[in-house]
Amino acid sequence: KTIAASFVVSTMANSAVHPWLILPLSGLLSFACGEFTLPALPYAYDALEPHIDAETMTIHHGKHHATYVANLNKAVPDGTADLASLAEMQASLVSKGAAARNNGGGHYNHAFFWVNLVPSSGPSMEPSPDLAAAIEDRFGSLDNMKAEFEKAALGRFGSGWAWLGVRPDGTLGITSTANQDNPLMEGLEYAAERMVPILGLDVWEHAYYLKYRNRRPDYVKAFWNVVNWNKVSRSYDVYARKQKPVPPTSTGGGHAVEL
């Protein structure tokens, strides 16, 4: 713990060290302390305007997500607390009880959600050739995939998530889960297709109600304007198509080094 902390401090103080080292090294401190921490967003709270408003982002990240992190540390007080282990633990969370399931899922789902978003003011993005081919093979077109994804998001009664992921047979699939569950979890008590998610959409009301009120369809449509297809494509290629859970870390932008 002391070594990790001093190494991070000395690294940050050394101007000759590249800035992109700072966040990964600070992760060592979280690892040593054994507690999960709220990851910083890889963009400003207002960066997703006008599609997702700054007030919603501030509350959603700073309050809702932070609460899941704090409660997860209470539910799972001992163990490795980094983003890779967070991804790996999802499969067993149902068996660990409601607190671990709800807060472990809540932490992973939100951390995963944030890094799959990108300001629409940036360069236009589209799925990589490999992911585009997989979408074409499974759904016929990107528009057809979006329509099926939107159907899952709108069909989720109450709170939950819609997901695009890679099924065990290697093909893409779409499913939805309730509350803070996700399709990595084993032993869900309801029908949800098992897959390694590469894209997720939060359809809890706190994710959109301040701006969209009860107009969930408008929120779901707006979501496509801020999807980080570069991140989604990398998650597909490096992790999901190999049936490895995706660590919810940022890619590029100087925010962190991808695991």
25 neighbors 7 (Cβ within 8 angstroms): yes
Q: How many residues does the chain have?
A: 259
pLDDT band at 250 (very low <50, low <70, confident <90, very high): confident
Distance of CA 145 to the CA centre of its chain: 19
Model confidence pTM above 0.95:
no
- Residue by residue, DSSP assigns 185-206 as -S--SS-----EEEEEEE-SGG
Q: What is the pLDDT of residues 152-202, one digit of tens each?
A: 999 999 999 999 999 999 999 999 999 999 999 999 999 999 999 999 999
Give alpha helix (H) positions in the chain.
2-13, 22-33, 54-59, 66-75, 83-89, 98-115, 129-139, 142-155, 209-212, 216-223, 229-238
Helices 2-13 and 22-33 cross at an angle (nearest 10°) of: 160
Residue 175 pairs in a beta bridge with: 163
Tokens of 136: 């074409």
**C-alpha span between 59 and 8 (Å, rounded):** 29
Integer CA distances (angstroms), 138 to 132, 134, 165, 220, 237, in order: 10, 6, 12, 21, 16
Query: How confident is the model at residue 202, as a pLDDT?
Result: 98
Query: How confident is the model at residue 92, as a pLDDT?
Result: 97
Sign of CA dihedral 248, 249, 251, 255: positive
Query: How confident is the model at residue 251, as a pLDDT?
Result: 59
pLDDT band at 19 (very low <50, low <70, confident <90, very high): very low
Residue 51 pLDDT > 70: yes
Query: How confident is the model at residue 232, as a pLDDT?
Result: 97
Average pLDDT, the chain: 86
Q: What is the pLDDT of residues 52-70, one digit of tens each?
A: 999 999 999 999 999 999 9
Helices 216-223 and 142-155 cross at an angle (nearest 10°) of: 150
Q: What is the pLDDT of residues 190-234, one digit of tens each?
A: 999 999 999 999 999 999 999 999 999 999 999 999 999 999 999
50, exposed or middle or buried, with CB in 10 Å at 0-12, 13-18, 19+? exposed
Quote the Cα angle for 104-163-67, to 5°: 30
**C-alpha span between 95 and 105 (Å, rounded):** 13
Residues 6+ apart with CB under 8 A from 248: 39, 83, 86, 87, 108, 111, 112, 114, 115
pLDDT band at 85 (very low <50, low <70, confident <90, very high): very high
Residue 252 pLDDT > 60: no
**C-alpha span between 38 and 66 (Å, rounded):** 6
Q: What is the pLDDT of residues 86-113, one digit of tens each?
A: 999 999 999 999 999 999 999 999 999 9
